[in-house]
Amino acid sequence: MTNALDGANHRALQLISPPNLRDAAVLDEGFVDLIGSREAPQPTIAQRAMNSSVVAAIYERLWRPVGVAALGLWKTDEHTKAATDLRLGGNQRVLDVACGPGNFTKFLGSRLDGDGIAVGFDISRPMLVQAARDNRSSHAAYVRGDGRRLPFEDGTFDAVCCYAALYLVPEPFTIVDELIRVLRPGGRIAIMTSCARGPAFVSKVQTVASDRFGVRTFDRDEFTTIFQAAGLTEIEREVHGVAQFVSATKPLR
């Protein structure tokens, strides 16, 4: 451990389950690292891009705005939607999986007070270096790990989210299962991902792009069906352009 431990990182460390805590280092760059020098898997072009320092440096100001336009989201106020869907406020614990350079995490933290903390979680070191540089705050901290095995006990968080990432990862449904596992009963989950639209030939083009670049297109009902099967309630889906926003509540029992 180094002396880069600040208040927000300290609160994030306290949320990590004891067996996983053994691997934790708080780095001078300002985030908690549970992976260390082990390489993150990068089997697709999309994943290699997310592990690049160049992409991390331009992600928030250039890469994402282009992605937003490609998804048809230019009219959508995603931050306000996230705050509403997650019912943010007070001293909640919020988990932002696949946070990239923290472009949502810092905003989520800004809606909290007291001991409230938004934990940005990502597998890419360059993304988290950028997050710690640009988007740290007293309510936003960052942890490096694999979203397919979240290092938190069941029910740790009041709200969990994953934006603009499930279409890039090889096991998106494992990540969703993990998000639901670490959400407390009564807590809120929100995701934003791709959505198949239009006639069959459009879907065919989307599938080819998917195979080539590792960017997957999900059916409209894919996540609502998963949420229903997991027993979640208050399930809502909005389709904007070729993106879908799906949110729900974990039942109290």
Ligand X SMILES: C[S@@+](CC[C@H](N)C(=O)[O-])C[C@H]1O[C@@H](n2cnc3c(N)ncnc32)[C@H](O)[C@@H]1O
The footprint of ligand X (CB under 6 A) covers 50, 64, 98-100, 103-104, 122-124, 127, 146-148, 163-165, 168-169
**Helices in 163-235 by DSSP H: which ranges?**
172-182, 200-213, 222-229
How far is the CA of 29 from the CAs of 5, 99, 103, 155, 212, in angstroms?
Answer: 10, 16, 17, 29, 34
Q: Which is nearer to ligand X, 12 or 165 (CB)?
A: 165
Residue 231 · residue 251 · CB < 8 Å: yes
- The residue sitting closest to ligand X, measured at its beta carbon, is 100
Q: Which is nearer to ligand X, 183 or 252 (CB)?
A: 183
Q: Which is nearer to ligand X, 30 or 147 (CB)?
A: 147
**Cβ 201 to ligand X shortest distance, Å:** 26
**Cβ 53 to ligand X shortest distance, Å:** 12
Sheet holding 157-163, edge to edge: 25-26, 32-33, 140-144, 117-122, 93-97, 157-163, 183-194, 243-249, 233-240
**Cβ 103 to ligand X shortest distance, Å:** 5
**Cβ 36 to ligand X shortest distance, Å:** 15
Q: Which is nearer to ligand X, 34 or 112 (CB)?
A: 34
